[in-house]
Chain A
Amino acid sequence: MSGFGVLFRRELALSWGKGGGPLLAVSFYAAMATLLPLATGPAPDKLAIVAPGSAWLALALASLLSLERLFERDYEDGALDLLSLGSTPLEAVAFAKCLAQWITTGAPLALAAPIASIALGASPSLSGLIAFTALVGGLGFSFCGGIGAALSIGSRRGGVLIAVIVLPLFAPPVIFGAGAIEAYAAGLDWKTGLLLLSAYSLAAVGLGPFAMAAACRNALS
C-alpha cells in the first residue's frame, strides 16, 4: 500500500475516533440550532426566513471545532517531524489530513444540515440542495481551515487564533452557499451560487495543501 494510503487511513481513524470525531461536531451543530430560536424568538415565520442562512453559519462554526487538533496533535508528539522526513511530501500529508477531516466531520454535518433547517422551519423541498451545498462547502471549510490550523502550529492560543485567521476565508463560501439556497427558495437562478461555491472549494483543495505544507515546514524549522 502506498504511503499516502496508509497516511489517509491513519488520519481517518484518528479523526473518527479520537477527540469526539463526528459526534462532537454534530452535537455542537445541534446546540447552535437550538440556541437560534431561543435568541430570535420562536415565531415560525421569522425563523423560516433565517433558517437556511443560520444553518450555514452553524456549519461554518462547527467545522472550526476540530481544526485545532489537525496539526497540533502531530506537532506535539513529534509525528509531524517524522512525516516531514518521510518520502511522502508534506503537501500530500496536508491533503490527506484535510480530506479525512472532511469525511469525518464535513459529511456528517452535511447530513445534519437539512434536518436542522427543517426543524427551524425551512421548506423540506430545500433539503437536497442544503445537504449538497453543505457537503461541497464543507470541503472548502476543511481545506481553508487547514491553512489556519497549520499557521498556528506551536502558538499559545490555538483555537481562538485559528478562528480569527480563518473566518475571513470562510466569507465567500458562506455567501455562495447561502445565496444558492436562498435563490432556489425564491425560484431564481440557483446554479450560479452552487457553481461558484464548487469553484471556491476546488480552488481551496488545489492551493490549500501548498500553503499548509509551507506553514508546517516553517513551524518545524
Chain B
Amino acid sequence: MFAFLYNPDRFMAFSRWGAPLFGVLAVLLGAAGLWLDFAAPPDYQQGYTIHIMFIHVPASMLSLFVYLCLGVASFLGLVFRQPLAEAAARAAAPLGAGLTFLALITGSLWGKPMWGTWWVWDARLTSELVLLLFYLGYMALQAAIDDEARAARACAILALVGVVNLPIVVFSVDWWNTLHQGSTLFAKGGPAMAPVYLPPFFLMILAYTSAFGSLWLVRIRGEVWRRRANVLAVRAAR
C-alpha cells in the first residue's frame, strides 16, 4: 500500500509538498469547524462547555489512531526492515503522547463543570491514562538505548506487545468500572448528537487528522535529515 513511499527519495519528494498541504488543510478545516461550532447554539444541558467537546473528542480519537499508526509502522520496520518505517514509528510517538495528554487535560477541564470533579477512575479515562503510560514507556526505551538501530527494533517489539495488550487493558478497565457516557457518535440507531453539532464535529476530526498527518510527515523528514547528517558526520570524521 505504501510501497511507493519506501524509497526515501520518493518519500522526500512526496512529503515536501504533502506536509505543507496537510498543514494548510488542517488550518482551513479547523477554522471552518470552530466557526461552525461557535455559530451553533449552546447545548440545552451543557451550555457553553459543549465547545470543549470539539477539542476533546477528536484528540482522544486521534490518540488511539496514532497508536495504530505506530503499531503498523513498527510492524513494517521490524518484519520488512524498512528504515523509513522505523523513522515513522519513532516520529509518531511524541505526537501520540501529546494528543493523549491533550485529551486527558481537556477531558478533565470538561469533567469539572459537568461531573463536578476533575478526575474519576472511570474505565475510559483509565484506559486513556494507560495509553499515555505506553507512549511514555516507548519514548523512555528509545532514549535509553544508545545504538539507534537496536533502539528502533526494541521499540518496535514493545509497540507490538502494546498493540496486543491495549485491547485487553480497555476490556479490563471496562469490566472494572464504567461511568463515562458511551460513544454518542457510533451509537445504535445513528448518532445521538444534536444534528447542528455534527458538521463542526466532523470538520474538527478531519482537521486533527490532517494536522497529525502534516506534523508526522515533518517529523519523519526531520528523522531522515538527521540520519543523513549523522552519515555525513561519520564520513567527515574519517
Instruction: Give A71-92 interface residues, CB cut-off 8 Å to B.
Output: none
Interface residues of A in 134-185 (CB under 8 A from B): 147, 151-152, 154-157, 161, 164-165, 167-169, 171-172, 175-176, 179
**CB interface residues, B 199-235, toward A, < 8 Å:** none
A15-23, A62-70, A102-110, A213-221: which one contacts chain B?
A213-221
Given A155-B145, A161-B140, A218-B150: A168 and B157 interface contact (C-beta under 8 Å): no
| Assembled-state Cα–Cα distance A169/B166 (Å) | 9
Q: Is A61 an interface residue (CB 8 A)?
A: no
Interface residue total, chain B, C-beta cutoff 8 A: 27
Contact present for A171 and B173 (CB under 8 Å):
yes
Chain A, range 186-221, C-beta contacts under 8 Å to B: 196, 200, 207, 211, 214-215, 218-219, 221
Residues of A near B165 (CB, < 8 A) are: 168-169, 172
For A219, the chain B residues whose CB sits under 8 A away are 150, 154
Digitize B11-27: 1 where CB-to-A-CB distance is under 8 Å, 0 elsewhere.
00000000000000000
Interface residues on A, range: 20 to 34
In contact, B154 and A218 (Cβ under 8 angstroms): yes
Chain B residues in 8 Å Cβ range of A156: 144, 146
Docked-complex contact B172 and A165, CB < 8 angstroms: no
Determine if B55 is an interface residue (Cβ-Cβ < 8 Å). Answer: no
- When C-beta atoms are compared, the residue in chain B nearest to A197 turns out to be B172
CA distance A147 to B171 in the complex (A): 22
Known: A164-B140, A168-B137. A200 touches B168 (CB 8 A): yes
- When the two chains form their complex, are residues B169 and A164 in contact, meaning their CB atoms are under 8 A apart? no
Cα A175 to Cα B165 with chains together (Å): 14
B169 touches A215 (CB 8 A): no
A171: chain B residues at CB < 8 Å are 130, 169, 172-173
**Is there contact, CB below 8 Å, between B130 and A168?**
yes
Do residues A179 and B175 form an inter-chain contact, with CB atoms below 8 A? Answer: yes
B88 CB → nearest A CB, Å = 19
CA distance A155 to B172 in the complex (A): 31
* Minimum CB–CB distance for B219 against chain A, Å: 22
Indicate if the CB atoms of A175 and B157 lie closer than 8 Å.
no
Bound form: Cα–Cα A202–B145 in Å? 30
Flag if A152 contacts B144 (CB, 8 Å). yes
Residues of B within 8 Å of A211, CB to CB, are: 157, 160-161
Chain A contacts for B144, CB-based, 8 A: 152, 155-157, 161
Docked complex Cα distance between A210 and B47 (Å): 52
Q: Is B192 an interface residue (CB 8 A)?
A: no
Query: Once the chains are docked, how many angstroms separate the CA of A179 from the CA of B172?
Result: 10
Minimum CB–CB distance for B147 against chain A, Å: 8
> Once bound together, how far apart are the Cα atoms of A207 and B158, in whole Å?
13
Given contacts A179-B176, A221-B150, contact A165 B140 (CB under 8 A): yes
In the assembled complex, the CB of B123 is this many whole angstroms from the nearest CB of chain A, namely 10
21 contacts between A and B (CB under 8 A): A147-B161, A151-B141, A152-B141, A152-B144, A155-B141, A156-B144, A157-B144, A161-B140, A165-B137, A168-B130, A168-B133, A168-B162, A171-B130, A171-B169, A172-B168, A175-B175, A179-B175, A207-B164, A218-B150, A218-B157, A219-B154
Q: Give B residues with C-beta under 8 Å from A.
A: 130, 133-134, 136-137, 140-141, 144-146, 150, 153-154, 157-158, 160-162, 164-165, 168-169, 171-173, 175-176
